[in-house]
């Protein structure tokens, strides 16, 4: 169970999520893929860091996702007429996946144990 909750697995899941969005926005002809690509590159760089530094990146991503979650909920429930320049919001399944990633990042970012470092200590 500790492997699934490790920051490295979370970063890989985030990278896959970012790749999906880059492909989606490129095929749509939007200018937004560069934002998602930058977030994906930050996650790729964080994979090479030690666990505690990667957890800080994960926490920063989680806080950013939390702000975006608030924006999604606001536009979904309080301002249905204008959502991001009259663009539709993500489908409900996408919002659920976004929420799961947000909670996963916040839990992992605020967790006090050492993650992979703790697994290495148990092995020795």
Torsion angle of the four alpha carbons 26, 31, 36, 41, in this order, in degrees rounded to the nearest 10: 90
Report in angstroms the alpha-carbon separations of 3 from 102, 117, 119: 18, 12, 9
pLDDT at residue 63 greater than cutoff 70: yes
- 80 — pLDDT class (breaks 50, 70, 90): low
Q: CA 64, CA 44: separation in Å to the nearest integer? A: 17
Q: Cα 79 from chain centroid?
A: 24
Q: CA 124, CA 112: separation in Å to the nearest integer? A: 21
Predicted local confidence at residue 102, as pLDDT:
92
Helix axes 116-123, 51-77, angle to 10 degrees: 140
**Range in 47-56, 60-69, 82-91, 95-104 the model is least confident about:** 82-91
Q: CA 57, CA 47: separation in Å to the nearest integer? A: 10
pTM: 0.74
């Amino acid at each position: 169970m500790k492997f699934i909750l490790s920051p490295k697995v979370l970063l890989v899941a985030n990278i896959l999520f970012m790749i999906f969005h880059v492909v989606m926005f490129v095929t749509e002809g939007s200018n937004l893929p560069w934002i998602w690509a930058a977030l994906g590159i930050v996650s790729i760089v964080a994979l090479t860091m030690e666990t505690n530094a990667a957890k800080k990146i994960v926490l920063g991503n989680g806080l950013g996702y939390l702000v975006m979650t608030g924006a999604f909920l606001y536009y979904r429930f309080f301002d249905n007429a204008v959502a991001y320049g009259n663009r539709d919001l993500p489908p409900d399944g996408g919002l659920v996946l976004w929420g799961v990633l947000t909670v996963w990042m916040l839990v992992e970012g605020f967790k006090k144990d050492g993650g992979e470092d703790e697994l290495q200590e148990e092995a020795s």
